[in-house]
């Protein structure tokens, strides 16, 4: 998260903070450096304006993370807006992607978006999810500080969702206010 906000994170500070996980820290930092050296392969070519049966509403992603980008699209068959997660090709193992999609699709909780579909278009897999309307928490936090009561309520709701996911063996791995 610090890196996404433009803050430089020193290797030494991570080693001091997580001395028992130095190998993992090195792996993550090396993967980050490798990703930085590449052109951004996670950018979806929206000149086609569709992926499978889904028509993209706009070219700008709703969000992005280390795994990929999320776009808004229109499902003409069911006549609803959806969110489509497109993994970066360099972060992709199709078997793992499908296994994770299946696991997440089994989660049923008011604070977890519903997975509608997983598919492939021209060899590129994607995940179709419920589109949650409204501002991201990160946008609200950039405008104003939350009251203690509201912060506690949000943390409580997130904790309930994480508890449900963890009970089903699912770990989020990219939890942040922008999601």
pLDDT value at residue 132:
92
- Considering the candidates 32, 93, 163, 174, report the single residue annotated as catalytic: 174
- CA–CA distance from 29 to each of 98, 162, 178 (Å)? 26, 26, 22
pLDDT in tens, 84-111: 999 888 777 888 888 888 999 999 999 9
pLDDT in tens, 14-52: 666 767 766 666 666 665 554 443 444 445 555 558 888
Beta strand 63-64 with 54-56 is unpaired
174 is catalytic: yes
Q: How far apart are CA 16 and CA 2, in angstroms?
A: 17
């Amino acid at each position: 998260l610090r890196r996404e906000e433009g803050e430089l994170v020193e290797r030494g500070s991570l080693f001091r903070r997580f001395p028992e996980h130095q190998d993992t820290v090195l792996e993550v930092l090396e993967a980050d450096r490798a990703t930085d050296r590449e052109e951004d392969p996670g950018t979806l070519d929206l000149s086609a304006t569709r992926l499978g049966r889904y028509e993209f509403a706009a070219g700008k992603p709703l969000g992005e993370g280390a795994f990929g980008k999320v776009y808004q699209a229109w499902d003409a068959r069911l006549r609803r807006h959806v969110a489509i997660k497109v993994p970066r090709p360099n972060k992709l193992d199709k078997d793992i992607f499908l296994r994770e999609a299946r696991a997440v699709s089994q989660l049923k909780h008011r604070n977890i978006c519903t997975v509608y579909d997983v598919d492939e278009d021209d060899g590129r897999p994607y995940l179709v999810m419920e589109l949650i309307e409204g501002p991201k928490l990160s946008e609200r936090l950039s405008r104003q500080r939350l009251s203690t009561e509201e912060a506690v309520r949000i943390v409580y709701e997130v904790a309930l969702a994480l508890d449900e996911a963890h009970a089903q063996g699912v770990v989020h791995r990219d939890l942040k206010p922008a999601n």
